[in-house]
Amino acid sequence: MLVYRFKKPCGDGTAAIKMKPLEMMERLAALVPRPRVHLTRFHGVVGPHYKYRKLIVPKKKVELSLVAGADAAHPADSDKPPASFKRIAWAQLLKRVFNIDVTVCSHCKGKVKIIAAIEDPKVIKKILNHMGLPSSAPRLAPARGPPASDQYDMQTQEFFEN
């Protein structure tokens, strides 16, 4: 059994609830939204298909750029809308997420220039086989069941004995 303590006691004085692990998982799973479903829906004037929406929703500000040798700021190309975001290079993502810097040599710590990225699975498999490395993913271990309920009895007792 698990014990969940509330931040504040309820109106009837309940400060904690006791439930089985699977019951706790059911309650947590009910809070997770379905995939690919928006949590906020707009209707009426701010709805996505309202024909006069563009008159109501504020427009994005046009980025200004300084032209070399000129004092005044001129708007960027009016033909193209301003880019809302830039993509981050995969090397920077590796460094940010896994703390792996592929742009630094592991031997001399010098700067490395990436000249190619191999993405074809057949070529990758051929290179790995040539180097004597495994070219296929390891087998997945079978899924395990939920933990036994007797493991939680010791944790539960200490909450109710106080």
pLDDT, residue 70, reads 45
pLDDT, residue 141, reads 85
Pairwise CA distance, residues 141 & 134, whole Å: 18
pLDDT digits (tens, 9 = 90+) for 9-32: 999 999 999 999 899 999 888 888
pLDDT digits (tens, 9 = 90+) for 134-158: 988 888 888 887 776 655 555 555 5
**Cα separations in angstroms, 51 against 12, 46, 57:** 51, 10, 12
Element (H, E) at 5: strand 2-5
CB 9 within 8 A of CB 17: no
Under 8 Å CB-to-CB from 135, ≥6 apart: which residues? 124, 125, 128, 129
pLDDT digits (tens, 9 = 90+) for 51-86: 888 888 777 766 555 444 444 444 545 555 555 667
CB 118 within 8 A of CB 130: no
pLDDT digits (tens, 9 = 90+) for 83-108: 566 788 888 888 888 888 888 988 89
Under 8 Å CB-to-CB from 96, ≥6 apart: which residues? 88
DSSP character string of 72-137: SEEE--SSSPPPS--PPPHHHHHHHHH---TTB-TTT--B---------HHHHHHHHHHHT---SP
CB 1 within 8 A of CB 152: yes
pLDDT, residue 113, reads 85
pLDDT, residue 157, reads 53
**Cα separations in angstroms, 92 against 85, 99, 103, 121:** 16, 9, 9, 23
